[in-house]
Amino acid sequence: MTRLVDISGQRFGALTVLHPHGRDAHGRALWLCRCDCGQVLAIRSNNLRTGNSRSCGCKKHAANRRLINLVGRVFGRLLVIERDTTQKAKTYWICSCDCGAVRSVWSAHLLRGRTRSCGCLVSEKSRQIAYKYLAGKRGSDHPRWNSELSSEERNARRTQEDKEWAASIIARSNYQCELCGATGRLNAHHIKAYASRPDLRTKLFNGIALCILCHTEFHRTCGYSGFSEDDFFGHFQLPNPGCVAGLSLPLGGDLANVVKYVARAAHKGSFVEDLRKARWYLDREIERRADELNPNAHTPREIET
């Protein structure tokens, strides 16, 4: 490896070399440089010496267009105080909002009218719209009024039992959507509606873990109350595990999962994986039923002599 020649403090065009910055993947020396515009970046020494790098890129773009000085100009509620930085040929300006907040805004957003405040203007307009269409609307006049809830249900908060039920449903699904397999944020969904079946609200067989997309898609189609289990299985084109081929299977549980994964195997694009999941649930159900019939089946037997 060749000896490193110290070029700290030297200038190359608009670049001032600060100090060495290691080497790149090919072993070539890198130097941390500051451009006259304020941008700091790492550049190879051979690009500095040959003149290939004379600035961070701001000079090249400045040759194509003239920088417009926005200091003192007003855009909506924003007053431009001073120039901030230039990053990737984008010039930012320090702006003071009428509400007192200070923000750094890209010049293009100011000139095109896309940014007119620190964000307070959008909040105020949202409140005005809400007041215009919802002011004075209470009870049954409110657009989100649910006529199927009783007064006790409407005034009651979500109980600890409801929270434990939701946590159990999501944990049972191995923290993934039981329809598409997605992970991340999940919702515990009632197969039979929460409002119409209060007796099944905390029953584990009446719940299924759904991702945000599947959950939102169902409610947009079938509504947020009054839907039945047939609406749920019909929406996702799945057979109702409670009535398959005349069988009387419990809603939910391992047998329901067997039916679900077998039914969706040909539609979701993961045929073998879904069949493996169905087999796993079936084996677990067989073991459970066998334990109920013969609780001592797994106890060690004495060796006959």
Read off the pLDDT of residues 179-235 as tens digits, 9 standing for 90 and up: 777 777 888 888 888 777 778 888 887 888 888 888 888 887 877 766 777 777 777
* Cβ-contact 36, 59 below 8 angstroms: no
The whole-number pLDDT of residue 62 equals: 55
- Segment among 131-135, 195-199, 286-290 with least mean pLDDT: 131-135
Q: Torsions phi, psi of 123, nearest 5? A: -65, -40
pLDDT band (50, 70, 90) for residue 79: very high
Bridge partner residues of 268 (DSSP)? none
**Structural contact between residues 218 and 210, judged by C-beta atoms closer than 8 angstroms:** yes
Residue pLDDT, tens place only, 29-78: 888 898 888 888 888 888 888 888 888 777 665 544 567 788 889 998 89
Neighbouring residues of 69: CB distance < 8 A, sequence distance ≥ 6: 83
CB atoms within 10 A of CB 107: 19
Query: CA 100 to CA 98: how far, in whole Å?
Result: 5
Percentage of the chain surpassing pLDDT 90? 3
Which residues fall within 8 angstroms of residue 276, CB to CB, at 6 or more apart? Answer: none
Integer Cα distance of 140 and 136 in angstroms: 11
